[in-house]
Amino acid sequence: MPRVAVDVLLKREILDPQGRAVEEALPGLGYEGVSEVRVGKHLEFEVPVDGDALTERVEAMCAGFLTNPVIESYRWRVIDGAERADA
């Protein structure tokens, strides 16, 4: 069963207060020069279909439930076991 990873961020033109907070905290912790910080959601799940049906299902889930397309954008990919963030 394919495992899908979805990354969600606020659109680039939308203010991201959480990203701003991280960016402002980093220099005080010794990490200078980190910029353009954006913070969003990461989801992983298994979907019981493949190929075009997988694409259609994931796009529908992302646009219809997992994200708010008015203010968020997303990107998804199929991952293998070694690419899991909790591997």
With vertex at residue 17, the alpha carbon angle to CA 76 and CA 34, rounded to the nearest 5 degrees, is: 75
Two structure tokens written together for 87: 């591997």
Residues of span 7-36 touching a copy of itself by CB under 8 A: 7-12, 19, 22-23, 25-26, 29, 31-36
70 binds a copy of itself (CB under 8 A): no
**Number of residues located near a copy of itself, criterion CB under 8 A:** 48
51 binds a copy of itself (CB under 8 A): no
Two structure tokens written together for 80: 């293998």
74 binds a copy of itself (CB under 8 A): yes
C-alpha torsion 67→73→77→79, nearest 10: -60
Two structure tokens written together for 68: 């708010």
54 binds a copy of itself (CB under 8 A): no
- 6 beta partners: 43, 76
Residues found near a copy of itself in the complex (CB under 8 A): 1, 3, 5, 7-12, 19, 22-23, 25-26, 29, 31-49, 57, 60-61, 64-66, 73-75, 83-87
